[in-house]
Amino acid sequence: MNEPDPGNILHRIRAPLAACSLALLLAACGAGSVTSTPRPARGVPEVRQPTRSIARDPQFQSIPGVEGVIGATQKQLVRQFGNPRLDVWEGDARKLQFTGTPCVLDVYLYPTSRSHEPLATYVDARRASDGQDVDRTACVLALRRK
């Protein structure tokens, strides 16, 4: 049997390898392009609209004392705590931040398969003065009293 000449095999695949390498290099150059959107003028808040909701079934936090918060909509939370200090959309998820002297309460809302509006699924609380974690139930009660 005649064994193939290694030099001949290399010669036959050199052109296709070079073409593939060139294609990969060109694709990598195009993948790094960045487009920018104009920023609003100073003093004008940027309004970000939520992206289309995808219904899912997130896990709901289960902590005694936050039952009126967990499962609530944005409107229900505003009725309890007033207007949020922050209202941030990240994709179809939303974070509302309520503040008072005793604490800062972050409430995270996600779309679910059982509601047209995102529902509060998780809360986090910290001291306003130094950012240290505080009892979530105590923070909810303190912010409801203000």
pLDDT in tens, the chain (146 residues): 556 565 565 556 666 656 655 555 445 444 443 333 444 444 434 445 555 556 567 778 888 888 899 999 999 999 999 999 999 999 889 999 999 999 999 999 999 888 888 999 999 999 999 999 999 999 999 998 76
On whether residue 81 sits in a domain, the answer given is yes
* CA separation for the pair 53, 119 (Å, rounded): 12
On whether residue 92 sits in a domain, the answer given is yes
On whether residue 18 sits in a domain, the answer given is no
The whole domain housing 135 covers 74-145
On whether residue 100 sits in a domain, the answer given is yes
**Each residue of 9-21: b (16+ CB within 10 Å) or e?**
eeeeeeeeeeeee
On whether residue 43 sits in a domain, the answer given is no
| The predicted structure's pLDDT at residue 45 | 45
Number of domains composing the chain: 1
Encoding tokens for residue 96?
Answer: 């509302």
The residue among 118, 111, 110, 82 whose CA lies nearest residue 98 is 82
On whether residue 34 sits in a domain, the answer given is no
| The predicted structure's pLDDT at residue 6 | 57
| The predicted structure's pLDDT at residue 16 | 63
On whether residue 17 sits in a domain, the answer given is no
| The predicted structure's pLDDT at residue 106 | 97
Give the three-state DSSP class for 125. strand
| 8 A C-beta contact, residue 118 and residue 93 | yes
On whether residue 140 sits in a domain, the answer given is yes
* CA separation for the pair 69, 71 (Å, rounded): 6
- Determine the straight-line distance between the first and last CA of the chain, rounded to whole angstroms: 93
